[in-house]
């Protein structure tokens, strides 16, 4: 196994050379939203209800240049946010980014994930995007983070998937071979990689994949270096992913792109095969899905430390007494055509728009439905689409 310190030093050197992500600094809050970084939306996704607690603590573990950190501050206006990263150079940019956009409730520490215990206290939400797979010992890293997660808290994780990154892995190995003793000279690695791509035949599989998926973002050297000349990367499949999850000691809540993990999406035309799959465990079904659709370049999911109470809105009287509010991660409202929390276009019925307009966070479903020709099943549809979020009345 690689030496912890050697790997950490090499990773820090990469991000000092090519600070990542390379998003531009702004003098205003960042545009758009990512619901996974919004505590209310993430909690609702995991529990089907609005959290009672809003004055939370958030840890951005491996924050880099602070792109996610900045969103975490602006999307959670009553939260205190802490960012940690191994690269001092990236942290300087993160500090400037947050200062310029007015993200004031944040502090930064130059630490690796292994040393997160040096940050005092626990956190209600831990965000760890694109970091664990760059550790020499991801299990040690996720266990260190798990110790900092509060009871009832959520951890949002993003790690690479090996099936959808096969061509990337080949390119990484090719660059390393050609660099030889120069490996670790990251500008040289970028130069070699770009020369390879400019030389490969047009029908080359690696070149085709780059053009299909990555070339636009990889115009930036920072992105190219992060993808192709990183000194440490561990990619996962669903089986090794759950070995990592199980080692954390936390509960798996679910993938944050659940529609991808629906077997009907692939085998819906063969109901007899769907029936056969009923005897499989959830993890076996996940594995079957990625075998049939090996485009999995990453896994994005939530873990929790119990207890994490989940709401049940199946009873009509419970739903009628609930207090709904609109999902804060929507764009274009009020309109019959909006972008939902996942940036998908949703076309509303007139009665659905009327209902959403009356979701002020104080009126019950029963009160709102007075004077609107709309039934509970339509309310459940809005709730299932996460256009509305509910609090028990």
Domain residue limits, the chain: 4-162+235-304, 163-228, 316-391
Return d(Cα 326, Cα 332) in angstroms, integer: 13
- Give yes or no for a contact between 80 and 58, defined as CB atoms under 8 angstroms apart: yes
Return d(Cα 289, Cα 296) in angstroms, integer: 10
pLDDT at residue number 1:
41
Q: Find the DSSP H helices in 105-220.
A: 138-146, 166-179, 186-199, 205-209
pLDDT at residue number 5:
79
C-alpha triplet 185, 222, 75: angle, nearest 5° = 140
Weakly modelled stretches of the chain, pLDDT under 50: 1-2
Domain 4-162+235-304 has CATH 3.40.50.150: yes
**Tokens 């207890």, located at residue:** 307
- Name which of 84, 86, 77 is nearest 29 in CA terms: 77
For residue 67, give every residue at least 6 positions away whose Cβ sits within 8 Å of its Cβ, in sequence order, or none: 21, 23, 30, 97
For residue 267, give every residue at least 6 positions away whose Cβ sits within 8 Å of its Cβ, in sequence order, or none: 273, 274, 277, 292
As beta bridge partners, residue 106 has 81
Name the token pair of 67. Answer: 């792109």
Return d(Cα 138, Cα 126) in angstroms, integer: 16
pLDDT at residue number 371:
85
Name the 3-class secondary structure at 235: coil
Return d(Cα 86, Cα 78) in angstroms, integer: 27
Question: Mind listing the pLDDT tens digit for each residue in 107-124?
Answer: 999 999 999 999 999 999
Q: What is the largest CA-CA distance in the chain?
A: 75
């Amino acid at each position: 196994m690689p030496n912890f310190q050697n790997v950490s030093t090499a990773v820090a050197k990469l991000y000092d050379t090519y600070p990542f992500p390379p998003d531009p600094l702004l003098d205003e809050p960042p545009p758009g939203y990512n619901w996974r970084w919004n505590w209310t939306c993430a909690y609702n996704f995991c529990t089907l209800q609005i959290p009672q607690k809003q004055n939370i603590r958030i840890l951005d573990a491996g924050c880099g240049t602070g792109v996610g950190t900045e969103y975490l501050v602006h999307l959670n206006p009553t939260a205190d946010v802490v960012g940690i990263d191994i690269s001092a150079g990236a942290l300087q940019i993160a500090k400037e980014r947050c200062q310029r956009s007015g993200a004031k409730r944040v502090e930064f520490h130059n630490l690796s994930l292994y040393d997160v215990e040096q940050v005092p206290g626990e956190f209600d939400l831990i965000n760890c995007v694109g970091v664990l797979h760059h550790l020499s010992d991801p299990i040690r890293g996720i266990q260190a983070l798990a110790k900092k997660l509060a009871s009832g808290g959520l951890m949002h994780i993003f790690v690479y998937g090996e099936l959808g990154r096969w061509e990337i892995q080949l390119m990484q190995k090719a660059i390393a071979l050609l660099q030889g003793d120069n490996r670790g000279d990251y500008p040289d690695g970028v130069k070699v990689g770009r020369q390879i791509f400019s030389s490969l035949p047009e029908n080359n599989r690696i070149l085709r994949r780059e053009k299909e998926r990555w070339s636009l973002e990889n115009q930036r050297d920072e992105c190219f270096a992060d993808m192709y000349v990183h000194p440490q990367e561990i990619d996962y499949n669903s089986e090794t992913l759950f070995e990592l999850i199980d080692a954390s000691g936390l509960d798996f809540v679910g993938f944050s792109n659940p529609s991808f993990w629906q077997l009907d999406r692939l085998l819906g035309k063969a109901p007899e095969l769907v029936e056969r799959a009923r005897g499989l465990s959830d993890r076996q079904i996940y594995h079957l899905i990625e075998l049939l659709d090996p485009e999995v370049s990453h896994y994005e999911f939530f873990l929790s430390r119990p207890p994490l109470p989940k709401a049940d809105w199946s009873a009509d009287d419970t739903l009628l007494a609930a207090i709904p509010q609109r999902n804060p991660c929507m764009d274009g409202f009020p309109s019959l055509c909006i972008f939902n929390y996942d940036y998908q276009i949703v076309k509303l019925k007139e009665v659905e728009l009327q209902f959403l307009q009356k979701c002020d966070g104080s009126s019950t479903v029963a009160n709102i439905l007075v004077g609107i020709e709309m039934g509970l099943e339509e309310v459940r549809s809005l709730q299932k689409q996460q256009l509305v979020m509910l609090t028990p009345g």
